[in-house]
Amino acid sequence: MKRVAWSIAALCVLAAAFAGFTLYQRSYSTPYATPVVEALTEGDGGTFEGLLTLAENLPPSATVKVLWTHGMCTHPPGWIDDRMSRLVEAVGGTSETVSVRPVGKHGATLRTDRISTRGRAIEVMFLSWSSLTASYKAALAYDGSKIKGSGIRATLNRELKDGLVNDCLTDVVVYSGPNGNNIRQAMNETVCGALGGRFDGNECEVPAGGSPAALALVTESLGSKLVSDSVLHIWNAANRSEDKTAIKRLANSFAATKVMYMLANQVPLLDAAGSVAMDKILEPQPPSAPAKIRTTAGDVFGLLSRARRQALPGAGPMTVVAFSDPNDLLTYRILPEHLAEDFREFRVINVLVSNDTTYFGYLERPDTAHCGYPWNPHVFGMLARGYQAGKPLPSVSVLAGTCPSYGWITGSVAQQ
């Protein structure tokens, strides 16, 4: 009888262990460990080019230009080294820094690196603009980690106040208002340079024959809004120019844009604040109807559609690849209603990924969900090598990464 009792107890323990193991498996999941590729056009399998395949499709003497900009939160210079090490790992070859120069007059910098691989060249321009918001973050430091007097702040709340609010959301607030003009000017100059032109403070002058052979845009987080607003400003300024041939040359440069890779897309969220580059209301609405708001995404896609029709009639469509972790609170997929009225000039592809583990079906760490795209092996694999429908997803070796070590503000500069 005693032996039977022990046997029953052992079976109960085994059953409990098995149930616990099953619960454990259900509790920790990565639903999009294998990304899901969604093309918006019916019948489109979602195939798209990566930076390497863009280069391989050009003549050997031509160069793919890439404009890459970071998003919110303080990004020290090392963020570029991180992205370059991952990119070189993904495409192979060797790299060198070609130049580092100031952009504008307020501290933004543009670093250009060149990758040589398989007889092809990829030139990557990285815009760093964190210094343009450092003084505003410094002004908030008094109410951060330490509170004078008897003030006590809970640990998690303190970290969120220092990191999420003081260091990250401040970038969004600054950019959304007139204090963001320095960021906009740096972005306009950078985008103009990527298009092969020279920015005079308002207009982008592209010389005849100055268009790049192929241009790709990589935007992280808030960078998607920065680039979109800049594209609109440059195009609108050219339309107002006294030089009536300027718009044609600029159209040729815009038409050279082959792919835009969005590592998180904040345009729909920030459109709620309106844009300095567009009117808020498209047309008068009846009192009973809500105001019809023009979206930056729709305006940019419409603009680029017109540019392609003007410059390269009959050319293939531009591709927009939007990487999104559904648990990323600060990113939005692109939907048909965000687009211009003409789909012939565009292919839009949403790629759903998981940047971290989901716990109990309840939570994925919000910070890594948002800033984990650069170290997601599939994201960098597809960015570098593209995607072929029906074939295995490209991937790169897992390279360790962490979210920004939020720069706690000391004096007037952010310290890493």
pLDDT of residue 204: 94
Distance of CA 158 to CAs 151, 266, 400, Å?
12, 25, 26
pLDDT of residue 342: 59
pLDDT of residue 12: 40
CB atoms within 10 A of CB 11: 10
149-165 pLDDT, tens per residue? 556 778 778 878 888 88
pLDDT of residue 218: 97
Contact 157, 87 (CB under 8 A): no
Q: What is the pTM of this model?
A: 0.84
**Low-confidence winner among 99-108, 169-178, 354-363 (lowest mean pLDDT):** 354-363
Query: Positive or negative CA dihedral for 339, 341, 343, 346?
Result: negative
What integer is the mean pLDDT of 240-244?
82
Extract the tokens encoding 401. 């990464």
Q: What residues does 363 pair with on adjacent strands?
A: 359
Distance CA 289, CA 281 (A): 13
Sheet containing 363-364: which strands, arranged edge to edge? 28-29, 358-359, 363-364
pLDDT of residue 50: 95
Q: Is the pLDDT of residue 276 over 90?
A: no
**Low-confidence winner among 77-81, 252-256, 270-274 (lowest mean pLDDT):** 270-274
pLDDT-based confidence at residue 309 (cuts at 50, 70, 90): confident
